Structure 1
Amino acid sequence: MTHSQFRALQDWVGQLQRILQWEAEHDFVNSRGHSGYFAEVVAQGLAEAPLTTLRNSDTCAELRDGFSAYSTWPLQQRRQWVVRTRQWLHHQRLHYQVQATAPSPDRSPPGAQPPLAQVEGIGPRLAAKLMGAGLRTVEDLLRHYPRDYIDYSRLLRIRALRPGETVTVVGTVRRSHAFVSSRNHNLAILELQLQDSTGRLRVTRFYAGRRFTSPRWLQRQRRLFPPGATVAASGLVKAGPYGPSLKDPLLEVLDSGAVTTTASSGRRILPVYPPTDGLSAESLRRAVQAVLPMADRQQDHLTEPWRQRFGVIPLAEAFTTIHQPPSEAARQAARHRLVFDEFLDLQLGLLRRRQRQRAQAMADLPMAPMAGTSDLVTAFLALLPFQLTSAQERVLQQVRKDLQVTAPMGRLVQGDVGSGKTVVAIIALLEVIAAGGQGALMAPTEVLAAQHYHKLCTWMVQLHVPVALLTGSTPERQRQAVLRDLETGAVKLVVGTHALLEEPVTFFRLGLVVIDEQHRFGVHQRSRLLNKGEAPHLLTMTATPIPRTLALSIHGDLEVSQIDELPPGRQPVTTTILTPGEREQAYGAIRTVASHGERAYVILPLVDESDKLKLRSAVQEHQRLARTVFPNLNVVLLHGRLTSGSKQDVLEAFVSGKAQVLVSTTVVEVGMDVPDATVMVIEHAERFGLAQLHQLRGRIGRGQAPSRCFLVSESQQAVARQRLEVLTRSRDGFEIAEMDLRFRGPGQVLGTRQSGLPDLALASLTSDGTVLEKARDAAKLLLKEDPQLRTVPQLRARLDAQNKRLASASRLN
């Protein structure tokens, strides 16, 4: 088996394991995601195993068939089937690892690296452990970067510690205790007492999550930090009643004699690597040290002239220095080169994708360039009861300029909640329709798609533009009619959900694709819709502003426009944080606005009660509010599990005013436009991201009346309170998005299903923005002077291999 085949297998196993883990963490309920129900997705994934021997194996077929009946099984049988599948996948990965790393009988090509088992200082036994951790080659070890460093020239003795300082302390474990918190059964605590020749120090680490509270995990911690072990602890010193302590520090067990060995060898800086199951810190460090002499055999994908132009050091020097930094300045230069490489790969991949799209469109674009405003758009503007803002006009000019060239537009329009992105999108759609094309508007939920459709109908009927709605709930007879009219061109504009991606949907002449709330869709879903036309234009919209570093990383193949101005007359929303005991304050506000004919939202994170999470649920809260808190008001319930018809009935009751209070999950996060809604109460607000809270808050304040948002939080943590206070003082979605990125990181901001999130080993999207900008400029320069990358063949080969891996890994997303 080749390494490329094994990487494809690794990606496939990893994707399936993540899906199976998600199901296990959600009580085996056959969860539903963007790609369908859990059991359907796993069965399809097993059918797409990257190796024929796997696909045709009896076990794979048996597991696949089992998932077809998964939804009918009792809970215990589901659990057993998920566990069995995960074990089988794990064994397959281990089995093929051996094949992938076995030395080939053929002669190795010049410059090839030896198998790890043959490297002096590693050997077969350690190589097997490294394989289990995913470290299969010399390059894998070279790219297994330290997470931190222990600088022995700056080590402090315990007696010299001062509160407020960030320090590294090395001491001997005197006492070790791992236990579950008596106040929170999902919280595990590790307490160590470290001692050196000058004193003692208490070290405490917290681990939140059910998997950390198992007896097996707790026992492993006791074995990992036994009395007598030498431990390095790095963190912030805090004062306590029993002396100084470290809260949530980085910990590493240093094998016996590690401190002496390091000092005597003359190395002042000791690298600290991320913890790896089955490998001690010293074993991992020894393996990395064994391959460092081979760093100069790694081919540098940037030639010397390009390195000089980009201002980076050679790759071999960067590898050696990042693991053995002689000084802080040298470490920074090495890190800069390696971070620059990660961002350069990312930006070249995005820009080359855009390059291919433009090249294809030069010959295939079905529409002639448009000039000026069409009569259809003029008529539409006359129907609007308001004037466009200057920000809308500016973005509209950018869109029109894109539409007037033969290459397809690729533009992301960011704008705060209520800034008027949809109107800009409608104008772009009408321009394309006037030129003889068709338009498609895709939304992430049926609620939002239906709302777009009903709003469009009020305008399109007057403009004599045929418009249709296509979702998963569209009746079969109506669906067939819509499909037929799209294919013949009778329907000029279609609004839909993921149903637009299905194979039967074909267009007569698709000219523009508009994707609302683009962060809910993966890159490949976007491509599937675009492939239904001959290189149509693309306009994506989001009311969840993405910080610039994330926008460049995820949507670097798109131009970015910002509508940074709200329509005049919009009332600011006052945001207040409440404790559970102050909840009556919010209820009083709801009663007051209801007496004035206005309406209120109550938002909860869960649909039903959960044994794992002690949170209020929408179903429970709806019953309680309707019976005891607001017996004189009509309280309705909305969540994603309702049928399409039931959702529509609930929305109509709320919009019309027949219902005064809407209890809902986050399905109202996007698209809900009820100007008379002026109060929102968000329960367990600490469980939402800042950007999501800002989106939810945007459902109120859409009319002329003052609005209030209440964030109810039970959390006692200072960081949680600090996060929520950002919303009380800021209404700028872009500022809030930046803060969200700092607090939670890119993976949580975008959501774990975002397939476009880059895989970065060393670079940080929160702190390396300057390097990202530099890498983007470098990628543009490189492609401008050498579009085919002929002067950097190693770099071109890296990018091609990366594209293959991403294509393989994306099939399950």
Structure 2
Amino acid sequence: MRALQQALQVEADRGFIDLKGRQTCFSSFVVQQLQLRPQDLPAEALQRLLDLSAGFQAYGELPLARRQSLVRTARERLHALRQAQQPVLAVAPPRLRLVSNSTAAGKAPNSASLNADTPLSEVRGVGPKTASRLAQLGLLLVRDLVHYYPRDYLDYANLVRINGLKPGTTATIVATVRRSHAFASPRNPNLSILELHLIDCTGRIKVTRFFAGQRFSSPGWLQSQQRLFPVGATVAVSGLVKETPYGPAFQDPLMEVLESPQAPVRSETIGRLLPVYGLTEGLGADRLRQVVEAVIPLVSSWPDPLPEALRRSQKLMGRSEALTQIHGPSGQEQLQASRRRLVFDEFLLLQLGLAQRRRQLSLRPAPPLALPPGGEGLVQKFLTILPFGLTGAQQRVLAEIRADLARPQPMARLVQGDVGSGKTVVALASLLTAIEAGCQGALMAPTEVLAEQHYRKLAEWLPQLHVTSALLTGSTPAPRRRQLLQDLVNGQLQLLVGTHALLEDPVQFDRLGLVVVDEQHRFGVRQRNRLLAKGLQPHLLTMTATPIPRTLALSLHGDLDVSQIDELPPGRQPIRTSMVKGSQRQRGYELIREQVALGQRAYVVLPLVEESEKLELRSAVEVHRQLSEEEFPDLAVGLLHGRLSSAEKQAAIGAFASGQTQVLVSTTVVEVGVDVPEASVMVIEHAERFGLAQLHQLRGRVGRGAAASYCLLINDSSNVLARQRLEVLVRTSDGFEIAEMDLRLRGPGQVLGTRQSGLPDLALASLTEDGTVLEEARDVARQITAADPELRQHQGLAHALAEQRRRQMDQAARLN
């Protein structure tokens, strides 16, 4: 193109004479060069070059005017083609000079007299009203406010040109005022509007600000607003970009006129990352930011609990800088670095606390529960009367438990196993080990249904082993309870199965050696410890069929050893799971009828017991009536829910297990503990109302026999996220994958239940997003505990840990 343009220029300069060269004339040279065109040109551009080539072939015969026109056309087309072939260079974002916001230090002239434990009411600028409103957020001391981290940030540091604005995002532009107009609204005399038309090198945009109040409607005030933003002035604008019929626009943004395009911005918000805090009534965002800015300079004098060598090895910024940057970040990199440091501190204190709890437990003496040498023990007799053999995973976990029981230190072990993996058999073998060693055992379950299920299963085997057992729940009659407690305290009762009733003060053991807690995530740490306190120092075995993701397990159960039963008994059939709409409900009913005809049974599970005025959901009572009267009048349909008495629940489960009822309509009471091998179909109504782990538990009630089993999830929700969650369940039966997804989608509080008292109190860290930092903190905690278990050489960490425990106790006291 360059050679052609030079030739065309020379031809024009010489008067369009078809200049003769050494080898060829001008027109022949042009035709040759046009034939060397690139092959990947667009069709339209290619055709234009072909037309030019045809024109120049007759160039020598054309009159002067036609020659001039052809040369001019050739130069224009070649220039356009070159422009199209060159990549478009993006315009760099605007530059904005910011005044350092370290000047906030000057806003706390009395900072020398303040410290971390100073009441906020004594901070200058914080009056009684503001202090009382801060107290509503639990902020009483300077320390509380400094650790009240922002929940989000407005990214006004996102500097863009006008053509780079995206609706729904926050951004800052630097532009020139092209038009300024302030006027009273024609529809509302109490509303005034300022409209600015701004322009930069990439485009134009309209910015609108609204002023409510009659005082803003006077002509003098409107003219003063126009004078503030004169035409030609450079303006910095920060705000939320909204979509309008005329393209992206700012509404009510933050604006500042710059003295010159290179002048710094005086505003403390424009062009910065602006923290967003949780608020309460009467406390605005700007006011809270002012109070935080007043106390932040104090953190520079606070000691750092982490030694400098540890900070360097983990590439962590100092704690004072991290606290300053988390409340007023100077950029995204500094924000991420400060957050990583503070998250690391939270996880490190959590892991150190768990390590110390574990160490204190290991220092206590516990009775070693070793089997007597020689002879056929209770465990061996138990294994011989079982109608099946243990899987390899069950044998491995049982060996780990028995090795722990033989030590003089108390066992603290968590057994995880998917639904139907045989945890109960392993727990009973462990309890028999304790009983054979001359101790008593306790098995605690979260619900009466599950406790009674366990007891019935044990009642099949224990009489053959001459082991005495009993069941204690809230429904146990008073005479039976008195006799049971008497037998327990004098040692005649060897194994007690029960619910929370085991925690009551009258329940006293003669010599409690092993405590087994089933579905342990339903119990808080304090409840678990209360049962342990009923023995001198009994061993602890906890079980769960709800797979716990690794990050959650490290946070909740870092003081426990973990065993995994990762093998299902042979002969178990995979459960075929599918998702259908409510209009396809008949498919489920047809499947139930087919399976009942083959001698199988079915569950229909609902989220509600009775109809609700607020929720348009099918209820267990209504569906039981419909199925028994309309769909299956020839079948026996049972009903089970939490409002039934214990005897009614047992009667419903017993009738279903024996085959007297073929279909059981139930709420989530059947989630755990109901074991009916003949059940092969489960229909779950309003499946979107349940958590993934809960649905996995429910699904585990079928597929416990040798027959093929089915689970139908009925979902009428239009929510895309709800559908994605259920598709995970359809795709996989891996409990750990399901639990990880449940944790990611719903968070730890929802997965475990908001009342789970063992859930760590994390102000900034996320168990779903900060797993890597958790692993790093756990490794550091192990190293520190191994070298300095009493934290004598880490006084900063010891003080931080003690302070955290004090705050937790204060919070518990306030709740009480």
Structure 1 partner of 2:744: 742
- By relative contact order (CA 8 Å, sep 6+), the higher-ranking structure is 1
Deviation for aligned residue 1:717:
1.1
Output the amino acid matched with 1:442.
Answer: M
The residue correspondences of 1:559-574 to structure 2 (distance < 5 A) are 559-574=561-576
TM-score when scaled to structure 1?
0.74
Matched, 1:271 2:263: no
Distance 1:258 1:523 in 2: 59
Contact 1:615/1:684 (<8 A) preserved? yes
1:334 aligns with 2:338: yes
1:358 aligns with 2:362: yes
Aligned equivalents of 1:517 and 1:768: distance in 2?
Answer: 26
Deviation at 1:635, TM superposition (A): 0.8
Pairing 1:176-325 to 2, within 5 Å after superposition = 198=204, 232-233=239-240, 263-264=265-266, 268-277=271-280, 278-308=282-312, 310-325=314-329
Q: Secondary structure at the match of 2:683?
A: strand
What whole-Å deviation, never above 9, does each CA across 1:701-740 have from its counterpart, x for those lacking one?
1111111111111210111111110011000000000000
Look up the match of 2:451: 449
* Matched position secondary structure for 2:756: coil
Unaligned runs of 5+ in 1: 1-107, 175-193, 203-229
Q: Is residue 304–residue 319 contact of structure 2 (8 Å, CA) maintained in 1?
A: yes
Distance 1:294 1:144, change over 3 A: same
Q: Does 1:716 align with 2:718?
A: yes
> Which sits farther off after the overlay, 801-810 or 323-332?
801-810
Q: Could you tell me which residue of structure 2 aligns to residue 141 of structure 1?
A: 145
Moved more, 127-136 or 461-470: 127-136
Instruction: Give the secondary structure class of the aligned counterpart of 1:597.
Output: coil
Go from structure 1 to structure 2 and tell me whether the alpha carbon gap of 1:500 and 1:110 turns closer, same or farther (over 3 Å shift): same
Instruction: Supply the distance in 1 between the matched residues of 2:611 and 2:391 (Cα, whole angstroms).
Output: 45
Q: 2 CA distance for matches of 1:290 and 1:423?
A: 62
Aligned partners of 2:617 and 2:686 also within 8 Å: yes
Question: Counterpart of 1:726 in 2: which secondary structure?
Answer: helix
Amino acid in the other structure paired with 2:325: T
User: How much has 1:771 moved relative to structure 2?
Assistant: 1.0
Residue 483 in 1 paired to residue 508 in 2?
A: no
**How far is the alpha carbon of 1:141 from its aligned partner?**
2.4
Tell me, yes or no, if the aligned pair for 1:201 and 1:244 is still in contact at 8 Å: no
**Partner Cα distance (1:555, 1:332) in 2:** 28
Deviations 1:261-315 (A, max 9, x none): 9943587432222330222222222222222211112232233344345543321
Q: Aligned to 1:671, which of 659, 670, 673? A: 673
| Number of residue-to-residue matches in the alignment | 646
* Structure-2 change in CA distance of 1:705 and 1:368 (3 Å): closer
Q: Which residue of 1 aligns with 2:3?
A: none
Give distance in 1, aligned partners of 2:197 and 2:357: 57
The superposition leaves residues 170-191 of structure 1 with CA deviations (integer Å, 9 ceiling, x where unpaired) of 79xx9xxxxxxxxxxxxxxxxx
Pairing partner for 1:514 from 513, 516, 520: 516
Contact 1:156 1:168 in 2 (8 A): no
Give the distance between the partners of 1:606 and 1:292, measured in 2 at CA. 50
User: 1:531 & 1:195 partners in 2: Cα distance?
Assistant: 73
Quick one: structure 1 residues 151 and 372, their matched pair in 2 at CA, closer, same or farther if it must change by over 3 Å?
farther
Give the residue type in structure 1 aligned to 2:561. Answer: E
Look up the match of 1:788.
790
The answer to whether the 8 Å contact 2:512/2:536 transfers is yes
Deviations 1:437-467 (A, max 9, x none): 1110001111111111111111111111111
Q: Using the alignment, how far apart are the partners of 1:475 and 1:263 within structure 2?
A: 77
Instruction: Note closer, same or farther for the CA distance 1:233–1:530 as it changes in structure 2 (3 Å cut).
Output: farther
Whether the 8 Å contact between 2:151 and 2:278 is mirrored in structure 1 is no
Residue equivalent to 1:182: none
Residues in 2 aligned to 1:287 and 1:666: alpha-carbon distance in whole angstroms: 48
Change (3 A) 1:474 1:795: same
- More displaced stretch, 124-133 vs 524-533: 124-133
Q: Equivalences for 1:789-808 in 2 at 5 Å? A: 789-807=791-809
Aligned CA distance change for structure 1 residues 352 and 645 (closer, same or farther; 3 Å) = same
Show structure 2 runs of 5+ residues with no match. Answer: 1-111, 174-181, 183-194, 199-203, 209-236
Q: Percent identity?
A: 56
C-alpha distance 368-742 of structure 1, shift in aligned 2 (>3 A): closer
Q: Alignment partner for residue 503 of structure 1, among 494, 497, 505?
A: 505
Residue 602 of structure 1 aligns with which residue? 604
Residue 485 of structure 1 deviates from its aligned partner by: 1.1
The alpha-carbon deviation at position 414 of structure 1 amounts to 0.8
Q: 1:578 to 1:397 in 2, by over 3 A?
A: same
Query: Take 2:510 and 2:565, find their aligned partners in 1: how far apart are those partners?
Result: 32
Most deviating of 387-396 and 722-731: 387-396
1:155–1:168 contact (8 Å) kept in structure 2: no
Say whether the 8 Å CA contact 2:468–2:492 is kept in structure 1: yes
Q: Is the 8 A contact 1:111 1:297 kept in 2?
A: no
**TM-score (norm: length of structure 2):** 0.74
Aligned to 1:416: 418
Deviation, 1:510, is 0.5
Find out whether 1:530 has 2:497 as its counterpart. Answer: no
1:68 maps to which residue? none
Instruction: Return the alpha-carbon distance in structure 1 between the equivalents of residues 631 and 556 of structure 2.
Output: 45
| Residues 645, 124 of structure 1: alpha-carbon distance in 2 compared, 3 angstrom cutoff | closer
- Contact 1:252–1:272 (CA under 8 A) maintained in structure 2: no
Aligned residue for 1:384?
A: 386
DSSP-derived class of the 1:264 partner: coil
Q: 1:559 to 1:590 in 2, by over 3 A?
A: same
Which entry has the higher C-alpha Rg, 1 or 2?
2
Please give the secondary structure, in 1, of the residue aligned with 2:615. coil
Q: Corresponding residue for 2:658? A: 656
* Structure 2 counterparts to residues 572-587 of structure 1, below 5 A: 572-587=574-589
1:799 offset after TM fit, Å? 2.5
1:132-163: CA deviation from partner (whole Å, max 9, x where unpaired): 33322222222222233334442456753569
SS at match of 2:542: strand
The RMSD of aligned alpha carbons is 3.2
Match of 2:638 in 1: 636
Deviation by residue 1:38-89 (Cα, 9 ceiling, x = unmatched): xxxxxxxxxxxxxxxxxxxxxxxxxxxxxxxxxxxxxxxxxxxxxxxxxxxx
Partner SS state of residue 802, structure 2: helix
User: How far apart, CA to CA, are the structure 2 residues paired with 1:802 and 1:401?
Assistant: 35
1:755 alignment partner, SS class: coil
Contact 1:638 1:663 in 2 (8 A): yes
Give the aligned residue type for 2:318: P
Describe the superposition over 1:318-370 as per-residue Cα deviations: whole angstroms up to 9, x where unpaired. 1112223333333222111100111112112222222222222x2xx234545
Q: 2:562, 2:725 → 1: CA distance? A: 27
Cα distance change, pair 441–628 in 1 and its aligned pair in 2 (3 A): same
Range 392-401 or range 480-489, more displaced? 392-401
Question: 1: distance between equivalents of 2:276 and 2:473?
Answer: 49
Is the CA contact (8 Å cut-off) linking 1:618 and 1:664 kept in structure 2?
yes
Whole-angstrom CA distance in 2 between matches of 1:663 and 1:712 = 15
The offset of 1:783, in angstroms, is 2.1
TM-aligned CA deviation for residue 122 of structure 1:
4.5
Aligned-pair CA distance for 1:399: 1.2
